[in-house]
Chain A
Amino acid sequence: MAVDHQQVAGPAAPGKPRRRRRRRGGRAGLAPVMFLAPFAVLFALFFLLPIGYAIYESFLKVHVSGLGLGPSSTTTVFAGLANYTQVFSDPSFRQGVGRVLLFGVVQIPVMLLFATVLALLLDSVVARFKRFFRLAFFLPYGIPGVIAAILWSFLYLPGLSPVVAALHGVGFGTVNFLGAKSVLWSIANIVTWEYTGYNMLIIYAGLQAIPADLYEAARLDGASEWKVATRIKLPLVTGALVLTAVFSIIGTLQLFSEPQVLRAVTDDISSSYTPNLLAYTQAFTDNNPNYAAAIAVVLAIGTFILSFGFLKLVQRRGARMGV
């Protein structure tokens, strides 16, 4: 790149390059700071500082002396790792983590497989009405998670839901979408409904970026559409698939709004149903912000390790396979 400048600027004006260099050291030297500063200040204040403060809070504990009445009876003391040991031994935290992991292990592969199939179909020559289908699949992503959850809660509610009524009509009995066993999968359905189209679009964008002549030759040699899809297209969109998987892992571990909304229509979602819900309850209902901070920190670190670890795992395997 630097060579290019010299070639462009050099012949036109021999005296210019030196002046340019001086300028870059002076006025331009401050320019990147000016461009970066507004974002950097806000990033530090509303991103780094809260994380730091949450970590700090997570090492503290409110100590109650006497009967706990009056302002002087509580003192905040350093608690070391006590909040963290409590997090890891808290059965409701463990259950919540187990629940979101089970959710992720089932829901993420199903959703990504679904999204991949739809993207491949949209990209293939066999499908018709592609524009309409692409819009239809993407539409749910335009509906915010809370409203999608409210909408589906109506569709799960016996008496209101035409789905329950229709299933009853064809002889399934009264299907309970909101029972203790089924409600996790009802949430999985909401998440799948919302994000399949979005993930499909990421994969589809990857497919569209592949130059068509790469598989035109294979097609002319008589390779089936299926072979073209699995042998040529899929390996080339691995990057896009990894991206969707990482975003899905992050989203799953942070699961909050869907279960929180569904709590309005079912008693089978406890106040500690997911780790995030537990942190919320601890902070606002149980008035235990230090413990909530520890949960939030553990959850953030866990999310980071899982998504980062997944990235590394895929990269290493990719290197071994020579992708």
Chain B
Amino acid sequence: MAVSTAARPGAKVAPRDRTRGNPKVTRGSILATAFMFVCAVYFLLPAWWLIVSSTKGPSTLYGSEGFWFSQLHLASNLTGLFSYDGGIYWRWLVNTLLYAGVGAVCATMLASAAGYALAKYEFRGRQLVFSVILGGVLVPGTALALPLYLLLSKVSLTNTYWSVFLPSIVSPFGVYLARVYAAAAIPDELIEAGRIDGASEGKIFRTVALRIMSPALVTMFLFQFVAIWNNFLLPLVMLSNTRLYPVTLGLYTWNNQYGQAPQLVSYVVIGSLISVIPLVIAFLSLQRFWRSGLTAGSVRL
């Protein structure tokens, strides 16, 4: 990055820059890079430990050097993980995909329609509706879990898929992002043009607005995915049937049980690793969408 930007401007600018800043920059850049390297070690070392430990058997997990490999048990760990308790780990992965994946898709659709309506239509009470939703941004998921439990237990809806899924698809922050983005990115003329062509409001939204909003949709999806995936309290209070658990709750219960079943330590380790691999990859490759969404969020504040 630094090299390409320095090389691109004409020869006139580059040498001046270099002569002026050279001695200082080199020392500074070594120090800065060294500091960032130490920080990178701090952030990556636990992940490295997880990878190394997931290849170890229950005995070497305790006895051997933690940050290096010893006695490869990866295959037996994997078969153990996926067959334990009738292969319930599979079930947890599928549930997680349902709660966080499908949930985030639904949340994005709902929030984009609502944000579009708030950005592009004049109607009475618009400001009030937006203020209430904005207040919802400041209410975190954990604060809501217990009230939700009290309410849903009254109507006997706890311990079902719906009890976790339905609350998860409400994303006030998504509405906020969609509104900010739609207001800035969708020209009124385009909507007008659609109307003149005789398209229905719904069709304009589907064919014009959603296409323009697509970068924001990815950001909203990511935010909500993480919010659902990270909301541990909600499934913890709602679900008692282990077959409905998301993978986080499942690993948490195993983690509390390994006093009785020592092999569970290995399964918790490798189960954690497997559950985060797809997510980490998706995260890192979609990073630019985080940045664009975060800019929209912070610029407004």
| 0/1 string, B24-67, CB within 8 A of A gives 1 | 11001100110110011011101101100100000001100111
Is the CB–CB distance between B40 and A36 below 8 Å? no
With A20-B195, A144-B229, A284-B237 known as contacts, the answer to whether A135 contacts B116 (CB < 8 A) is no
Dominant secondary structure at the A interface: helix
With A35-B116, A293-B146 known as contacts, the answer to whether A20 contacts B192 (CB < 8 A) is yes
Number of A-B contacts (CB under 8 A): 299
Contact of B196 among A9, A51, A161 (CB under 8 A): A9
Contact residues in B for A145 (Cβ distance below 8 Å): 230, 232
| 0/1 string, B170-202, CB within 8 A of A gives 1 | 101001000000000000110010011000111
Contact of B40 among A136, A146, A151, A222 (CB under 8 A): A136
Count residues of B near A (Cβ-Cβ below 8 Å).
102
| 0/1 string, A35-55, CB within 8 A of B gives 1 | 110111011011111110110
Question: In angstroms, how far is the closest chain B Cβ from the Cβ of A69?
Answer: 23
Determine whether A141 belongs to the interface, using a CB cutoff of 8 Å to chain B: yes
Determine whether A303 belongs to the interface, using a CB cutoff of 8 Å to chain B: yes
Contact residues in B for A266 (Cβ distance below 8 Å): none
Count residues of A near B (Cβ-Cβ below 8 Å).
116
Question: In angstroms, how far is the closest chain A Cβ from the Cβ of B247?
Answer: 8
The answer for the CA separation of A138 and B288 in the assembled complex, in Å, is 12
Contact residues in A for B23 (Cβ distance below 8 Å): none
Determine whether B243 belongs to the interface, using a CB cutoff of 8 Å to chain A: no
| 0/1 string, B267-301, CB within 8 A of A gives 1 | 01100100110011011100100111011011101
Is the CB–CB distance between B43 and A283 below 8 Å? no
With A27-B201, A47-B144, A142-B283 known as contacts, the answer to whether A264 contacts B255 (CB < 8 A) is yes
Chain A interface (Cβ within 8 Å of chain B)? 1, 4-5, 8-9, 13, 16, 20, 23, 27-29, 31-36, 38-40, 42-43, 45-51, 53-54, 57, 118, 121-122, 124-148, 150-155, 159-163, 165, 193, 196-197, 201-202, 204-206, 208-209, 222, 224-225, 237, 239-240, 242-243, 246, 250-251, 254, 256-257, 260-261, 264, 276, 279-280, 283-284, 289, 292-293, 296, 299-300, 303-304, 307-308, 311
Chain B interface (Cβ within 8 Å of chain A)? 1-2, 20, 24-25, 28-29, 32-33, 35-36, 39-40, 42-44, 46-47, 49-50, 53, 61-62, 65-67, 110-111, 113-114, 116-118, 121, 123, 126, 129, 132-133, 135-136, 138-140, 142-144, 146-151, 154, 166-167, 169-170, 172, 175, 188-189, 192, 195-196, 200-202, 205, 226, 229-230, 232-233, 236-237, 248-249, 251-252, 255-256, 268-269, 272, 275-276, 279-280, 282-284, 287, 290-292, 294-295, 297-299, 301
